[in-house]
Amino acid sequence: MKSSKRGKSISVEVQGIQKHGVWIFVKGNEYFLPYRSYPWFKNSQTSEIFNVKLVNNKYLHWPTLDIDLEMKSIMKPHQYPLIYR
């Protein structure tokens, strides 16, 4: 994902999709979302995973996958122990 204007900062970017999960870059920090904790990404199309937006600096939204993740749950996963099954 590239910014449309020169000098415009990118607030969220998918940096890679790997065998065990997805790497995302959000506001200067890199996070790994493993499929064991975020299984809905495992069988998703690449274009669907790359289609992500940061909303109100509080959560990530994947519109085509209908997924919303609060940034706190990504930054401090130990405080959010429930895992989707």
Q: What is the pLDDT along the chain (85 residues), one digit of tens a residue?
A: 444 444 455 689 999 999 999 999 999 999 999 999 899 999 999 999 999 999 999 999 999 999 999 999 999 888 877 665 5
pLDDT at 84: 56
pLDDT at 81: 74
Please report the domains of the chain, with CATH numbers, ordered by start residue: 12-79 (3.30.2020.40)
pTM: 0.79
Under 8 Å between Cβ of 14 and 22: yes
pLDDT at 77: 83
